[in-house]
A and B are shown apart, each in its own frame.
Chain A
Amino acid sequence: MGHKHQTGLKVRLAARGLDGVTLLIIPSLLLMIGLFIYPFLYGLWLSFHPKDGSFLGNYARFFADPFLYETINKTLWIAMPATLINILFAVPVAFRVRLMQNQRWLTTLLVLPITLGTVLVAEGMLNYLGPQGWFNRTIMLLGLTAGPVKLVHNYWGVMLSLIITGFPFTFLLILSYVTGIDPALENAGKTLGARATSRFRHIFLPLLIPGLAITFCLSFVQAFSVFPSAVLLGAPAGPTRVISIAAYQAAFEEYDYSMASSIAMIMGFVQLGIVVAVLAVRGLFYRGPAVGGKG
């Protein structure tokens, strides 16, 4: 009787898509809970328990102090253009690369900067683009400028580093969206008399918008949490005092974990706001498959 009932339960669970294989998600579920959900909820709780004992004290302090709340704008002012520039560069390159035979070499070449990490890229930039680096020596030798151009320890250093480290990621994502568009659609456009610009505007772009929106969100979130390059290549007390620096200082210079949590929460909500806005705009466009029929 009991045995019979057990089989029945198993069958019913399987009908709902739950079987032995489902158990394989347990390790990742534990990781998610332990490393993301619990710290997030703990941080949220912590942010409402500031040193002064009030409920919203941290948030009030953040939005009252320009040295703190201006970090939002400063971060946006770096992350937004960096993301847009990366996308604007990546789209034409992806359109060219989609026609290439040996994409693998290029992909390898592009994945390398991702594996190197931001710190190594920052070190390299400090050397090459610094006042004594080859870049400035070259342009001075050519007489293009009288003195060295300041490319590090300011806004442009951080921007450049975000473009260099962010481009491969943006590019690879966009390439996968571009190659996902059925080439027959372009041929159909050609036979109907559409030239390259018309084909891009009327066929490719509308089909790419959903992918571009996702790419924007992922690249933006990456750029928004910029920390190492803002410290190493920027002016961390001035124009590149990004929000993650504010959180770092609260946590490890003032030892105010509650305040740091609040800043992290504010950072999270700003990102979430932008992502939700972008995805909402995406919802206005066609989002179905990018193929032109069966087969």
Chain B
Amino acid sequence: MSKDHSAFRSLRLEQVGRVFGAHNALKNLNLEIQRGEFVALLGPSGCGKSTALNCIAGLLTTSSGSIWLDDRRIDVLDAEERGFGMVFQNYALFPHMSVRQNIGFGLKMRDVPKAEIAKRVDQALATVRLESQADKLPGQLSGGQQQRVAIARAIVIEPPLVLMDEPLSNLDAKLRLEMRQEIRRIHAGLGSVTIYVTHDQDEALSLADRIVVLRDGEIRQVGTPEDLYMRPAKLDVADFMGFRNRINGRVAQQSGDQVVLDIGGVHVQGQARETITGPIAVASLRPDDLVAVAASEAGAFSALVEAIEYRGRDFFGSARLPDQTEVFFRSHHRLNAGEPVHLMADKSKLLIFNQEA
């Protein structure tokens, strides 16, 4: 088992597709993942990320394409034969088995001798810090503990690949932060590949070495967290990475990747992330980078405040431009709904995209 593990260098998905009836859930997915990498599949629900994960796990058959572990083709194998560890969204712990039996199940299926099972289960319990809960049933554990059992059960078989399907989505916010660190620590200790499906961009950014953004069954962008956060390649990726503001403007000037947009008479400059083709383009900006300023500052948008909320360090609100475009902004002081406001865009953070078809 561990021999296989050390021998493997990369996982390759070649033109992988999956069709459900008339629906193309996954289209020609190409991806290569190196050993040791932590990759997040990120996207809104229905984007195909779970389908991709289940195809890799063998719980779904692929409709086209192939999956390779080095030069071994694995998409033709049953899930039982792949030997990947999987952590499910609802944990899927066997409710009638103790924590110890749950964790040992995969080893038992591999006919590992009892003494070794006991030893390795003890190690796994120590890794997820659950030594004291070993003889309880899953139903007697808290959500966070159950999730740790699920992780221990997946890693104890020393799989070349650990697949995680939104493992933290059922936990509360504080526990989620703690578990992120645990997952990262466990990944580092294993040295195998972790593929992590999530719709939460924060989770993907904080955990992954590389993020694959999916939409409608297609890869939209693959990159490091910094890449995706700072330099999204497409408008929808930007939208998903927190660039909530999409403001249409007329292209006034263009030199290299610097584009000036005329938005209702206000000229703003930003970096084009693709070749701008039409006369109208979209300015994409995080609410953080659109800040309420004094009326006297030049180059600010005027808008009417619609709603405002306090989020600790700053206030965040929504407002409408004269053309009724809704914008989201940050403010250092409280504003009231209905009040006029002047919003200044940080041009170093402003990205310009083509309009969506």
Contact = CB atoms under 8 A, between A and B. Distances in A.
16 contacts: A182-B92, A184-B92, A187-B59, A188-B88, A190-B58, A191-B79, A192-B153, A198-B109, A207-B96, A285-B96, A288-B96, A291-B95, A292-B92, A292-B93, A292-B94, A295-B89
Contacts of A10: none
A281 to B, nearest CB: 16
Nearest to B149: A293
Interface residues of A, number: 27
Nearest to A209: B96
B157 interface: yes
Contacts of B150: 293
A190 B95 contact: no
B110 A193 contact: yes
B94 A203 contact: yes
B71 interface: no
B314 interface: no
Interface string B12-30: 0000000000000000000
Interface string A270-295: 00000000000000011011111111
Interface string A191-209: 1111100100011001100
A294 B88 CA distance: 11
A265 interface: no
Contact of B139 (A188, A206, A289, A295): A289
Contacts of B137: 286, 288
B143 A294 contact: yes
Nearest to B60: A187
A187 B92 contact: yes
Contact of A192 (B59, B146, B157, B169): B157
B80 A292 contact: no
A293 B146 contact: yes
B86 interface: yes
A252 B150 CA distance: 65
B90 interface: yes
Interface in A176-231: 182, 184-185, 187-195, 198, 202-203, 206-207
Interface string B78-109: 11111111101111111110000000011001
User: Lowest 5 A-B CB distances belong to which pairs?
Assistant: A293-B91, A286-B96, A192-B106, A292-B92, A295-B90
B325 interface: no
A190 B77 CA distance: 12
A194 B80 contact: yes
Nearest to A181: B95
A193 B157 contact: yes
Contacts of A288: 95-96, 137, 139
A21 to B, nearest CB: 31
A188 B81 CA distance: 13
A190 B78 contact: yes
B92 A193 contact: no
Given A189-B105, A294-B143, 6 more contacts: A188-B88, A189-B94, A190-B80, A191-B85, A286-B137, A294-B146
Nearest to B81: A193
Which of B79, B80, B81, B150 has the largest count of A CB atoms less than 10 A from its CB?
A: B80
B59 A191 contact: yes
A182 B154 CA distance: 18
Interface in B241-287: none
Given A191-B85, A194-B109, A185 B92 contact: yes
A121 B58 CA distance: 46
B138 interface: yes
A64 B105 CA distance: 56
Contacts of B93: 188, 292-293
A294 B79 contact: no
A214 to B, nearest CB: 17
A187 B59 CA distance: 7
A192 B110 CA distance: 9
B170 interface: yes
A286 B97 CA distance: 9
Contacts of B96: 206-207, 285-286, 288
Contacts of B80: 190-191, 193-195
A183 B150 CA distance: 16
B73 to A, nearest CB: 19
Interface in B47-95: 57-59, 78-86, 88-95
Contact of B109 (A182, A193, A285, A294): A193
Contacts of B143: 293-294
Point out which of B57, B81, B91 has the most chain A C-beta atoms below 10 A from its C-beta. Answer: B91
A192 B139 contact: no
A252 to B, nearest CB: 50
Contacts of B106: 192-193
A286 B92 contact: no
Interface in B96-141: 96, 105-106, 109-110, 137-139
Contact of B88 (A187, A193, A195, A289): A187
A185 B84 CA distance: 16
A191 B169 CA distance: 21
A178 to B, nearest CB: 15
Interface in B152-208: 153-154, 157, 163, 169-170
Contact of B138 (A184, A189, A194, A293): A293
A188 B241 CA distance: 32
Contacts of A294: 90-91, 143, 146, 170
B81 to A, nearest CB: 8
Nearest to A295: B90
A85 to B, nearest CB: 27
Q: Which of A182, A198, A207, A290 has the most CB of B within 10 A?
A: A182
B138 A292 contact: yes
B79 A188 contact: no
A192 B105 contact: yes
Contacts of B154: 191
